[in-house]
């Protein structure tokens, strides 16, 4: 998608470096960063310079390419794979991408290993773009249906950033919105601010602005009253891990939006590529939920009057804060899953029908 009118992807490989857009600087500064080593790739995931389930998967895949450039010994590769998987535990795409790479690379001791790794990492990215595009085509039908009944702007609430910045291109939750906009359907997005890191305000609103899509940032607790007032036609969110039974793990706060949507009879959709499905875990309580540094809550970053990015403390120094990054929305509150293969019920039956 576009930034200042120029097409970008969120990650690419050039001259033996991995190039990323440093998302910790957005929306104030647009900085392209070079990742030069496996350590750079791991730090970039941990610090959330790259974030969003599909994108951290792709970064991990390219991280293994960088590991091979540094040292093509199999034990170094195995240790790099383990370090990548533990860098952010909740999004299954990360482990999925590392496992897929390691299936191709384990035991390969020839000078072809680098070429195989680069091709597979590229393939992971190309596939994600295709899947996200298909999610858009499938989700567009739902937006169109609402528009055909309403014949007025479709108001869509989303949480966190499940936009193109969280993927390689298109996004998951935003892909149907981009497709609707391109088709001339009037859409307006309520972007949940998404404390503590403000991905909704800093990233979703930013990327929608760049594509000329109307949006309004709201505080995380505003969705409920907007739904009661009839100002939300549907919700679309992304996910970091969806279980085979349809339970959806996503950015903390998603669950509360789903409860409010259920109470107000507003459709609540989750958009995901199949790389986000965890076919193994049966009970959502077994999903590893990332707990991040409490400083993300107690401090905020923004521009000062000179235009420099500054971080300031907003909580009492003595107070403790807790920062769970994700929650789980039970399948019963999910109207449907929008995938690359079609839209299905959030259930084992629904998912299995699509992904035999
Ligand atoms: O902590 P983040 O910013 O990586 O969390 C991202 C989300 O929760 C997204 O909704 C999810 O990864 C879906 S991405 C298309």
pLDDT tens over the chain, length 356 residues: 999 999 999 999 999 999 999 999 999 999 999 999 999 999 999 999 999 999 999 999 999 999 999 998 999 999 999 999 999 999 999 999 999 999 999 999 888 999 999 999 999 999 999 999 999 999 999 999 999 999 999 999 999 999 999 999 999 999 999 999 999 999 999 999 999 999 999 999 999 999 999 999 999 999 999 999 999 999 999 999 999 999 999 999 999 999 999 999 999 999 999 999 999 999 999 999 999 999 999 999 999 999 999 999 999 999 999 999 999 999 999 999 999 999 999 999 999 999 98
Identify the active-site residue in 40, 192, 240, 278.
240
Judge contact between 46 and 124, C-beta under 8 A: no
Q: Do the bridges between strand 309-313 and strand 6-7 make them parallel or antiparallel, or are there none, so unpaired? A: unpaired
- The CATH homologous superfamily to which domain 137-354 belongs is Translation initiation factor eif-2b; domain 2 (3.40.50.10470)
Which of 53, 165, 254 gets mutated to test ligand 1 (max ligand atoms within 8 A of its CB)? 53
Measured from the Cβ of residue 28, the count of other Cβ atoms closer than 10 Å reads 14
In the block, tokens 């647009």 appear at 30
pLDDT for position 15: 96
Q: How far is the CA of 155 from the centre of ligand 1 (A)?
A: 21
pLDDT for position 231: 98
**Can you give the residue ranges of every domain in the chain?**
2-127, 137-354
pLDDT for position 186: 98
In the block, tokens 């910045």 appear at 165
Contacts of 55 (CB under 8 A, 6+ apart): 10, 11, 165, 166, 167, 168
pLDDT for position 137: 98
Which of 51, 89, 94, 278 gets mutated to test ligand 1 (max ligand atoms within 8 A of its CB)? 51
pLDDT for position 272: 98
Q: Which residues of 97-131 are buried (b: 16+ CB within 10 A; e: fewer)?
A: bbebbbeebeebeeeebbebbbebbbebbebbbeb
Rg of the chain over Cα atoms, rounded to whole angstroms, equals 20
Architecture of domain 2-127: Up-down Bundle (1.20)
Q: Quick check: CB of 51 below 6 Å from ligand 1?
A: yes
Pick the residue whose CA is nearest to atom 6 on ligand 1: 52
The sheet carrying 11-14 orders its strands as: 11-14, 17-21, 32-35
Q: Quick check: CB of 242 below 6 Å from ligand 1?
A: no
Pick the residue whose CA is nearest to atom 8 on ligand 1: 251
Distance CA 236, CA 279 (A): 22
Alpha helices in 88-192 (DSSP H): 92-105, 113-150, 174-182
pTM: 0.98
Distance CA 312, CA 129 (A): 37
- Please name which of 32, 104, 19, 34 lies closest in space to residue 68, comparing C-alpha atoms: 104
pLDDT for position 339: 98
Q: Quick check: CB of 169 below 6 Å from ligand 1?
A: no
Same fold: 2-127 with 137-354: no
pLDDT for position 224: 98
Distance CA 153, CA 178 (A): 14
**Residue 14 CB-density burial (10 A; 0-12 exposed, 13-18 middle, 19+ buried):** exposed
Q: Is 240 a catalytic residue?
A: yes
Q: How far is the CA of 157 from the centre of ligand 1 (A)?
A: 15
Which of 95, 162, 242 gets mutated to test ligand 1 (max ligand atoms within 8 A of its CB)? 162
Distance CA 293, CA 307 (A): 26
- Please name which of 48, 34, 289, 62 lies closest in space to residue 166, comparing C-alpha atoms: 48
């Amino acid at each position: 998608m576009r930034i200042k009118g120029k097409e970008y992807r969120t990650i690419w490989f050039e001259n033996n470096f991995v190039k990323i857009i440093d998302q910790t600087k957005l929306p104030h500064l647009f900085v392209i960063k070079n990742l030069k080593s496996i350590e750079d790739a791991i730090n970039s995931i941990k610090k959330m310079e790259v974030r969003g389930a599909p994108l951290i998967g792709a970064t991990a895949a390219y991280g293994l390419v960088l590991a091979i450039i540094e040292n093509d010994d199999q034990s170094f590769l195995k240790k790099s794979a383990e370090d990548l998987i533990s860098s952010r535990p909740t999004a299954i795409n990360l482990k999925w991408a590392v496992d897929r790479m390691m299936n191709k690379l384990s035991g390969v001791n020839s000078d072809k290993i680098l070429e195989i790794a680069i091709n597979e990492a590229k393939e992971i990215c190309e596939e994600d773009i295709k899947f996200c595009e298909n999610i858009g085509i499938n989700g567009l039908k739902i937006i169109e249906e609402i528009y055909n009944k309403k014949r007025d702007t479709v108001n869509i609430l989303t949480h966190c950033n499940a936009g193109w910045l969280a993927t390689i291109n298109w996004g998951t939750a935003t892909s149907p919105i981009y497709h609707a906009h391109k088709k001339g359907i009037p859409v307006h997005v309520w972007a949940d601010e998404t404390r503590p890191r403000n991905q909704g305000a800093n990233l979703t609103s930013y990327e929608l602005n760049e594509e000329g899509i109307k949006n309004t940032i709201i505080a995380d607790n505003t969705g409920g009253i907007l739904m009661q007032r009839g100002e939300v036609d549907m919700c679309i969110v992304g996910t970091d891990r969806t279980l085979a039974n349809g339970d959806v793990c996503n950015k903390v706060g998603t669950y509360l939006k789903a409860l409010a949507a259920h109470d107000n009879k507003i459709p609540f959709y989750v958009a995901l590529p199949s790389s986000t499905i965890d076919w193994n875990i049966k009970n959502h309580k077994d999903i590893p939920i990332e707990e991040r540094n409490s400083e993300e809550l107690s401090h905020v970053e923004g521009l000062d009057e000179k235009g420099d990015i500054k971080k300031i403390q907003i909580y009492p120094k003595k107070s403790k804060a807790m920062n769970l990054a994700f929650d789980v929305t039970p399948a019963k509150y999910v109207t449907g899953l929008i995938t690359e293969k079609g839209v299905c019920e959030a259930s084992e039956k629904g998912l299995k029908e699509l992904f035999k």
